[in-house]
Structure 1
Amino acid sequence: MTSRLGTLAWRAVLAALLVCGTGLLPWISHTDPALTVLKAQSAERDATPQALADVRARLGLDDGPLHLLGQWLTGLPRGDAGRSWISGARVTPDVLAALGASLLLVTAALAVALVTAAGVCARTLRLGARGALDGRPAGGSGSAVLAALPEFLVASVLATVVGVQLGWLPALGWYGPQWTVLPALALGLPAGAVLGRLLDDQLPAAFAEPWAVAAAARGVAGPSVARKALRRCVPGLLPNLGLFLVGLTGGSVAVEQIFDIPGLGRTTLQAAIAQDLPVLQAGVLVLVALAAATTAVLRLAARRLIGPALRDGALHALRRPAPRPRRIPPLAHGGALLAVVLCGLPRDPLALDTEVRLQAPSAAHPFGTDALGRDVLARVAHGALDTLALALAVSATALAAGILLGLLPRLSGPLVDTVNAVPPVLAALLVAAVRGGGAWTPVLAVAVVAWAPLAAHTSALLREERATLHLTATRALGAGPWRLLTGELLPAVLPPVTRHALLRLPGIALALAALGFLGLGAQPPSPEWGLLLAENQPYAERAPWAVLAPAAVLALLGALAVTAAGLRRNPGRRRAAEPGVGVRSRAASGERPTTRAESVGAG
């Protein structure tokens, strides 16, 4: 009971710090909110001293930020979040309407994501139910390509092709259920591919557990075994599902902009840019509350799925068996990516030639040219150096922070929920306000939020691993906390979390460049990949190669990251020591499988 009260208090402190930080944003960044509000209300109006004084008097800015924040907080118990500084309308109805639009969109996107994840895992489930898995997931690299596609690119293609050219579905507005289809596909397809890959990574270990071997030996139907294996793996992914839901609610700004959806993410971002503090604070508070509620519901669902095994220490170790090495796909993907970079480096990425604007791919320009006549291959190759270096640095930092904080779930749990409730663009604005703009602003902003999914994954896996039979036996034999951590817990958690970090590498690369495009980092004519996508997006219908080339390279990076994550060092070295390996052959010969407790005791 004391620990729960402490967690709730820690969560309340974090929420208060976040809301207060957003409320102090103009003063932290040393900007005049009166000037921003005046320009947001009327761009043509001159910012004379008298006009600025009128705005300050109307909004009460002369009383200081603490007075404004206290006035806003006192109205919350009555459901009054104040009035917008820009429009003068009441904040609460507008924010609740935006939340309703976002929840409807997220619900539809969740349905798409679950169907996509089921498609990614279908072959692994089918082979595992028949006992035909070789220790590695059976899914191909197509899902990795889909997971690496940026949401705004998918949204642009769907809106242009399906909405405009074919006219099958509406591509603009928010007037009914049919308007949710295209944005739900744009959000749900990449997210479902990520969730499917994470689930596909855990299924081989579930099918190698003794209960699955015994079920297969007794002739239990394959679909029944597959359902139980799925139930065994889902609890470890529920925290990331919660992050996905909350992240979509506040982070799907690009999709909301493309389809003109009045969602919470778009509303919060517009308020942050215009420094409309009442709307911004209300939006952030709603996102934090939504994150807390979603986490509590999914944590309860995980406990219900696992049952009393967490309490009784009756789980088996969910470790993936050592697969046969398969090095051809990562070598092929890495070779293709290296070839693109080497072919483009000798070319000048900044050379302009207006006579060959938006030229199709040719021998002179293998990837075509952009709207200024610059060689797309040269820009993709030169952008790879900075983009990949920064993405790798941020990914490594996020992985280390995620694992360290995941080891302390009482500390990191509320922190993960709070950080995930902040859209990346808002995090970048907060970072820029504290330290100013520059090339390192996107790096810090993405690093601030990138560790949260990895910490949630680490905590979920640790919670299950601490309830395993072999850990109970090892503890009974006198192993201390350090021995349990280094010898049992970390070896079980590090491989899947590392593969998760590799899966998110392309998304981090895109997020870094996208923030730079928004003016919070590197500026044009920098050839970063996200900048290439955003700059050429208006010409996607006329010159699709200008968008498809950087998108294809980004997808290739995703395929490389996922296939490389499947490689393991010396796969045969620990084959006999890992649970589930060789169990099927011993069961078939009538030999009793050796349990983890027996192997520990024999040692």
Structure 2
Amino acid sequence: MRRQVTALVWRVVLAAALVCGVGLLPWLSRTDPALTVLKARSADRDPDPEVLAAIREQLGLDAGPLHLLTRWLGGLGRGDAGDSWISGTPVLPDVARALGASLLLMASALAVAALTAALVCARTLRLGARRGLGGRRRGGTGSAMAAALPEFLLASVLSTVVGVQLGWLPALGWYGPAWTVLPALALGLPAGALLGRLLDDLLPGAFGEPWALAAAARGLPGRRVARQALRRCVPALLPNLGLFVVGLTGGAVAVEQVFDIPGLGRATLQAALAQDLPVLQAGTLALVLLAALATGATRLAARLLTGPALRDGALFSLHRPAPPGRALPPLLCGAALLAVTGAGLVRDPLAVATGQRLQAPSAAHPFGTDALGRDLLARVGHGALDTLLLAGAISAAALLAGVLLGLVPRLSGPLVDTVNAVPPVLVALLVTAVAGSGTATPALAVAAVAWAPLAAHTASLLAQERATLHITATRGLGAGRWYLLRRELLPAVLPSVLRHALLRLPGVALALASLGFLGLGAQPPSPEWGLLLAENQPYAERAPWAVLAPAAVLALLGAVAVTAAGALRRPPRRHRTPVPGTPPTGRGDRAGRKTLAGVG
């Protein structure tokens, strides 16, 4: 009980710090909120001191930020979040409508993600149902490229091709269920591909457990075994599913911008840009509450699916030693990516030739030219150098932070929930307000949130691994915590977390590109990938190669990441007796079962 109270207090403190930090945004930015409000209300009016003083008095800005926060929190107790500084209308009805639109979009995107994940795992499930063991999945390049597709680019392509050119579905606005299909596809396909890869990574271990082998030997229907294997693997992914719920609600800003959806992410972004403090506070509070509800629901679902086995230490390890995968596919994909980057580096990315605007790919310009006649291969190559190095550095730092914080779930759990409630776009706005806009803004914003999924994954896998039979037996024979962590737990969990980090490497690059696309990162004429997509997106219908070139390189990065992740496996260890009184641990649960048999 004491631990639960401490965790609750820690969550409340973090949530309060987050809301206060957002509430102090106008003062952190060292700008006058009254000037921003005046420009939003009447751009043509001169900002003379008398007008600004009247706005400050009307909004209560002269009383200071502490008074504003206290008054706002007191109003929440009465069900009043205040009035918008820009429109003067009550905040709660507008935020509630935006939240309703985002929740509908999120539910539709989750349905698409679930279907996509099922398609990614279909081959492993079919093989496991037939043979009783999953084996090691091969291929998966298609799912890698789907996971690496930029959401905003996919939204632009679907809107232009399916909505405008073909006219199959509405492409703009938010007037009913038909308007949710295209944005749900844009959000759900990449998320489902990533979740499918993570689930597909665990399924072979479930099909190799004794219950699955016994069920196959007794001739039980393969579909029943496959359903139980899914039930066995899903609890390890539920923390990440909770992160996706909040990310699809508050982080879908670019997709909401493309399809003109009045969602919560877009409303929060517009409020932050306009320094409309009441709307910004209410939107952030809604995201924090949604994160708390999603986290609580996923933890309850994990307990219900796992049952008492997690408490009693009666699980088997899903992380079995296996020979390393083939290194040829990642080498080929990596060579192709290096070839594109190298070919672009020898060209001038800033050379303007207005007579060669929007030319199609040719021998002189293999990727074509942009709206200013600049060579796209050169811009993609020079942008790749910065983007890949930055994404790699952020991914490595996120992996290290995620593993370390995942080892202490009581500390990291509430922190993960709080961090996940803030989309990278809002973090970028906070960074921009304090440090100004520039190339470092997206890096700081993405690095601030990139560790959260890895920490949640690490904590979830460690919780299940600690409940396995061979860990229970080894602990019973006198092994200490440090020995178990160093020799058993980390070797079992780290390969999966490292594969997860590799699968998220394109996502880090996409997040950097998304912030550049929204104008929160590098500025022209930088060849940064997000800026390339933002500059060329208006010409997608006339010159599709202008956006397909950087998108193809992003997809190639996804192929490199997923094939490299597939080649990372926990290698078989030789039989050894590390310390007196502890069992050999060469084959995971098999050693635990032998030890228990010997003790009995």
SS at match of 2:47: coil
Encode CA deviations 1:317-343: one digit per residue, 9 max, x unaligned.
111441463222112211111111121
Instruction: Mark the CA change 1:236 to 1:134 in structure 2 (over 3 Å): closer, same or farther.
Output: closer
1:128 CA drift (Å)? 1.5
Checking the alignment, whether the CA contact within 8 Å between 2:329 and 2:563 is kept in structure 1 is yes
What does 1:202-221 align with in structure 2 at a 5 Å threshold?
202-221=202-221
Instruction: Mark the CA change 1:370 to 1:574 in structure 2 (over 3 Å): closer, same or farther.
Output: farther
In structure 2, what is the equivalent of residue 29 of structure 1?
29
TM-score by length of 2: 0.95
In structure 1, what is the equivalent of residue 554 of structure 2?
554
**Partner Cα distance (2:252, 2:424) in 1:** 10
In structure 2, what is the equivalent of residue 136 of structure 1?
136
In structure 1, what is the equivalent of residue 594 of structure 2?
598
1:263 CA drift (Å)? 0.5
**Partner Cα distance (2:217, 2:459) in 1:** 34
* Corresponding position: 1:200 with 2:200: yes
* Corresponding position: 1:92 with 2:104: no
* Corresponding position: 1:79 with 2:79: yes
Encode CA deviations 1:437-461: one digit per residue, 9 max, x unaligned.
3322221111100001111111111
* Corresponding position: 1:69 with 2:69: yes
Amino acid of the structure 1 residue aligned with 2:415: L
Checking the alignment, whether the CA contact within 8 Å between 1:205 and 1:321 is kept in structure 2 is no
Q: 1:578 aligns with which of 587, 591, 600?
A: 587
SS at match of 2:527: coil
**Partner Cα distance (1:141, 1:369) in 2:** 28
**Partner Cα distance (2:434, 2:378) in 1:** 35
Instruction: Mark the CA change 1:516 to 1:602 in structure 2 (over 3 Å): closer, same or farther.
Output: farther
In structure 2, what is the equivalent of residue 462 of structure 1?
462
In structure 2, what is the equivalent of residue 587 of structure 1?
none
In structure 1, what is the equivalent of residue 17 of structure 2?
17
Between 517-526 and 475-484, the greater mean CA deviation after superposition: 517-526
Checking the alignment, whether the CA contact within 8 Å between 2:344 and 2:378 is kept in structure 1 is yes
1:211 CA drift (Å)? 1.3
**Partner Cα distance (2:306, 2:571) in 1:** 30
Instruction: Mark the CA change 1:597 to 1:132 in structure 2 (over 3 Å): closer, same or farther.
Output: closer
**Partner Cα distance (1:105, 1:129) in 2:** 34
Encode CA deviations 1:506-559: one digit per residue, 9 max, x unaligned.
111122233245444321111111111111110000000010010000000001
In structure 2, what is the equivalent of residue 477 of structure 1?
477
Between 382-391 and 431-440, the greater mean CA deviation after superposition: 431-440
What does 1:259-278 align with in structure 2 at a 5 Å threshold?
259-278=259-278
In structure 2, what is the equivalent of residue 431 of structure 1?
431
In structure 2, what is the equivalent of residue 395 of structure 1?
395
**Partner Cα distance (1:224, 1:578) in 2:** 27
SS at match of 1:577: coil
Q: CA RMSD in A?
A: 1.8
In structure 2, what is the equivalent of residue 316 of structure 1?
316
Report the identity percentage. 75
Amino acid of the structure 2 residue aligned with 1:430: L
**Partner Cα distance (1:140, 1:55) in 2:** 58
**Partner Cα distance (2:516, 2:541) in 1:** 24
**Partner Cα distance (1:600, 1:43) in 2:** 77
SS at match of 1:30: coil
Checking the alignment, whether the CA contact within 8 Å between 2:172 and 2:260 is kept in structure 1 is yes
Checking the alignment, whether the CA contact within 8 Å between 2:128 and 2:135 is kept in structure 1 is no
SS at match of 2:586: coil
What does 1:95-106 align with in structure 2 at a 5 Å threshold?
95-106=95-106
In structure 2, what is the equivalent of residue 245 of structure 1?
245
In structure 2, what is the equivalent of residue 416 of structure 1?
416
Encode CA deviations 1:203-254: one digit per residue, 9 max, x unaligned.
1111111111111111122111111111110000001001001111100001
Checking the alignment, whether the CA contact within 8 Å between 2:132 and 2:208 is kept in structure 1 is no
1:571 CA drift (Å)? 4.1
Checking the alignment, whether the CA contact within 8 Å between 1:325 and 1:571 is kept in structure 2 is no
Amino acid of the structure 2 residue aligned with 1:289: L
Amino acid of the structure 2 residue aligned with 1:424: P
In structure 2, what is the equivalent of residue 444 of structure 1?
444
**Partner Cα distance (1:276, 1:327) in 2:** 52
**Partner Cα distance (1:31, 1:122) in 2:** 54
**Partner Cα distance (1:434, 1:558) in 2:** 33
**Partner Cα distance (1:546, 1:599) in 2:** 62
In structure 2, what is the equivalent of residue 113 of structure 1?
113
Instruction: Mark the CA change 1:519 to 1:159 in structure 2 (over 3 Å): closer, same or farther.
Output: closer
Amino acid of the structure 2 residue aligned with 1:137: R
What does 1:298-377 align with in structure 2 at a 5 Å threshold?
298-323=298-323, 325-377=325-377
1:573 CA drift (Å)? 5.0
Structure 2: tracts of 5 or more residues without a match: 576-584
What does 1:503-542 align with in structure 2 at a 5 Å threshold?
503-542=503-542
What does 1:145-156 align with in structure 2 at a 5 Å threshold?
145-156=145-156
* Corresponding position: 1:501 with 2:497: no
Between 94-103 and 436-445, the greater mean CA deviation after superposition: 436-445
Checking the alignment, whether the CA contact within 8 Å between 2:474 and 2:592 is kept in structure 1 is no
Checking the alignment, whether the CA contact within 8 Å between 1:503 and 1:558 is kept in structure 2 is yes
Amino acid of the structure 1 residue aligned with 2:586: A
Instruction: Mark the CA change 1:153 to 1:388 in structure 2 (over 3 Å): closer, same or farther.
Output: same
1:53 CA drift (Å)? 1.4
Instruction: Mark the CA change 1:564 to 1:35 in structure 2 (over 3 Å): closer, same or farther.
Output: same
Checking the alignment, whether the CA contact within 8 Å between 2:134 and 2:203 is kept in structure 1 is no
**Partner Cα distance (2:194, 2:505) in 1:** 12
Amino acid of the structure 2 residue aligned with 1:480: G
Between 189-198 and 327-336, the greater mean CA deviation after superposition: 327-336
Amino acid of the structure 2 residue aligned with 1:302: A
SS at match of 1:167: coil
1:431 CA drift (Å)? 1.9
Amino acid of the structure 2 residue aligned with 1:5: V
Checking the alignment, whether the CA contact within 8 Å between 1:38 and 1:47 is kept in structure 2 is yes
In structure 2, what is the equivalent of residue 40 of structure 1?
40
Instruction: Mark the CA change 1:180 to 1:154 in structure 2 (over 3 Å): closer, same or farther.
Output: same
1:468 CA drift (Å)? 0.7
**Partner Cα distance (2:372, 2:108) in 1:** 39
**Partner Cα distance (1:153, 1:166) in 2:** 18
Aligned residues: 590
Amino acid of the structure 2 residue aligned with 1:596: G
Encode CA deviations 1:95-130: one digit per residue, 9 max, x unaligned.
111111110110111111100000000001111122
Checking the alignment, whether the CA contact within 8 Å between 1:123 and 1:139 is kept in structure 2 is no
Amino acid of the structure 1 residue aligned with 2:55: V
1:139 CA drift (Å)? 5.3
Encode CA deviations 1:286-341: one digit per residue, 9 max, x unaligned.
10011001100110000000111011110001114414632221122111111111
1:131 CA drift (Å)? 2.4
1:132 CA drift (Å)? 7.6
Instruction: Mark the CA change 1:347 to 1:330 in structure 2 (over 3 Å): closer, same or farther.
Output: same
Checking the alignment, whether the CA contact within 8 Å between 1:124 and 1:139 is kept in structure 2 is no
**Partner Cα distance (1:143, 1:480) in 2:** 41
Checking the alignment, whether the CA contact within 8 Å between 2:95 and 2:282 is kept in structure 1 is yes
**Partner Cα distance (2:519, 2:51) in 1:** 28
**Partner Cα distance (1:232, 1:138) in 2:** 22
In structure 2, what is the equivalent of residue 162 of structure 1?
162
In structure 2, what is the equivalent of residue 564 of structure 1?
564
In structure 1, what is the equivalent of residue 177 of structure 2?
177
1:572 CA drift (Å)? 5.3
Between 150-159 and 436-445, the greater mean CA deviation after superposition: 436-445
Encode CA deviations 1:465-489: one digit per residue, 9 max, x unaligned.
1111111001001000101111111
TM-score by length of 1: 0.95
